[in-house]
Chains A and B, each alone.
Chain A
Amino acid sequence: MENAKKALVEAGSIHAEKYSPELVKQAEEYYDLAISNWRTQNEEWFFQRDFSRTKNFADLSEKAAREAIKEAIAHEANLSETLSSELTELRKKVKKSQFLFTSFPFNNDLKKNFTRGGMMLSEAELDYQKSDLLNCKTKLARAKNLIDESVKSAISILKNDFRNYNNWIALKDKTISWSKANGAYACLVDKYNRKCYVYKNGKLYSTYSVELGPNWVGPKRQSGDDRTPEGMYKVTKKKSGVHTRYYKALLINYPNEQDVEDLKNSQKKGILSKHAKSGGLIEIHGDGGKGFDWTNGCVALTNSDMDKIYSISYVGMPVNIVGSLTSLNEILSGL
């Protein structure tokens, strides 16, 4: 009985009931049976007492308790190491993935799920610090699910958005070739990198930082979607002074034929309402330098940069706009 008692106390001291609940319960039940049997035998006349069953139950209790201790020690050590590693990995993943949700205009629910995952991870980390490993394990699993699902959804959306990457690279090459063949200036806007490249005679002449519409990913579909269009355009008008409210502006021919056709196709497929319109008045203009994407779809430069580009531009100058000259693989390489 003494041995069984010691084994149970030892099991309790390492919280074996958390890691081996069945064995601990068994040990306690055998111990209770031993006590009960002992009590019963003590009520018998001295010479009629038989403690063999008491001893048997006590032995079974000690055996179960010792097994519970062994299992709990192994399980806890293993769990602690596993959780430590998983917490570190998931925290690294959150840090690496954070940029996705600050660089691309995903919907609010997706972003919130990512944040919730991050906060659940913080709770799991607090549980680990308090050695509450089982709660840590539960919360870590929930955090991982939220974070993994958010990142997976984000990447899936980006893969769809970047399906035209090869076309974008081809358009860059076309811009440079055209500039070289015609000995003229041509513009190329890279939306992801927020850059406007000006080529002269096929060589890079200058580079300017730009700001776009807030919903900049993907081609412009309709009026009011705050998107900067993608495709091949030309300057149709130069504006300055009272003719523009943005310091200086270069109007481009959005929507072009492709944009009109895309709108019709989208309406036929039911993606856009039959009342949707392409919109217009997309320009390269000044008043940029705000540090964020604020336009209704136009390409904004600082006034000093606008002066430079305005000075070399002409009606008919190509303004080609692409989603990104950086591949999605490169963007996601840190993940």
Chain B
Amino acid sequence: MKSLIAVPVLGLALFLSSCDKVPQVELDNANVAINEAKMAEADVYLPTQFAALEDSMRVVMADIEVQNSKWMKNFDGVRTKLSNLTSMATTVKANTEAKIEEIKNEYQTAFAEVQQMIVDNKALVEKAPKGKGGREALEQIKGDISVVEISAAEAQSLFDAGKYMDALNKINAAKTKSVELNTELVEAIAKTTKR
């Protein structure tokens, strides 16, 4: 009697154990790809895209447990999602690298512009003794130019340390100030020329 019960029970156990298993390889690949995106600083430069990766991983983990809850497990859907997630993470990593290059190029352009404006503004100061209401105004402009120089050097330090967004922000602020000074000086000289 016992053997009559044991056979179907054993058969059932064997059947259950042959159902689909958690796609561990695909899961590991997805985790590696997400990690690589993070190492590339996707969370810094493309935070929305990186957050989407983490959200997608949560969805997949939940789907895994949904399948684990079932008698008849089928991880095909999970495999597909993991494969897509791995692809997505690779794309995000590439997008991050492209974004960083874009920021670096933007920074280098702005830095070169600021350096040129510093030279131009110093030359304009020499030509602009009048129209500014006093020597104090010119001294202030000279002081401002030296602050721009310091700020540009600080921006370069940030750039060299790999803090590209901070560097870009700082150099853009320096550029704004340089343009302001240049406009002031050009207008002052123009007034003098018209007299």
Binding site for B on A (CB under 8 A): 1-2, 5, 8-9, 12-13, 15, 31, 35, 38-39, 42-43, 46, 49, 101-105, 108, 111-112, 115-116, 118-120, 122-123, 126-127, 214, 290-294
The chain A residue sitting closest to B135, CB to CB, is: A292
Main secondary structure on A side of the interface with B: helix
**Interface residues of B, CB < 8 Å — how many?**
39
Interface pair A122/B177, CB less than 8 Å apart: yes
Kindly list chain B residues whose C-beta atoms are within 8 Å of the C-beta of A214.
135-136
Interface pair B139/A111, CB less than 8 Å apart: yes
- Contact segment of B23-31, B57-65, B80-88: B57-65
With the chains together, A293 CA to B129 CA distance in Å? 10
Chain B 35-64, CB-CB to A under 8 Å as 1, else 0, gives: 000000000000110010011001101100
How many residue-residue contacts, CB under 8 A, span A and B?
103
Interface pair B134/A293, CB less than 8 Å apart: yes
Kindly list chain B residues whose C-beta atoms are within 8 Å of the C-beta of A120.
173
Assess A101 versus B135: contact at CB under 8 Å? Given A8-B58, A118-B177, A290-B130: no
Main secondary structure on B side of the interface with A: helix
- Does chain A have a CB within 8 A of B78? no
Assess A12 versus B62: contact at CB under 8 Å? Given A103-B134, A122-B173, A126-B169: no
Shortest CB-to-CB span from A81 to chain B, Å, is 22
Kindly list chain B residues whose C-beta atoms are within 8 Å of the C-beta of A46.
71
With the chains together, A20 CA to B20 CA distance in Å? 40
- Can you name 14 A-B pairs with beta carbons within 8 Å? A2-B62, A31-B58, A38-B68, A38-B69, A39-B65, A102-B132, A105-B136, A112-B143, A115-B177, A119-B147, A119-B174, A126-B172, A126-B173, A291-B129
With the chains together, A294 CA to B139 CA distance in Å? 12
- Does chain A have a CB within 8 A of B11? no
Kindly list chain A residues whose C-beta atoms are within 8 Å of the C-beta of B170.
123
Kindly list chain B residues whose C-beta atoms are within 8 Å of the C-beta of A108.
139, 143
Interface pair B151/A292, CB less than 8 Å apart: no
- Does chain A have a CB within 8 A of B117? no
With the chains together, A154 CA to B132 CA distance in Å? 20
- Does chain A have a CB within 8 A of B131? yes
Kindly list chain A residues whose C-beta atoms are within 8 Å of the C-beta of B148.
119
With the chains together, A116 CA to B147 CA distance in Å? 7
Interface pair A13/B61, CB less than 8 Å apart: no
Kindly list chain B residues whose C-beta atoms are within 8 Å of the C-beta of A293.
134-136
Chain B 77-108, CB-CB to A under 8 Å as 1, else 0, gives: 00000000000000000000000000000000
Interface pair A291/B131, CB less than 8 Å apart: yes
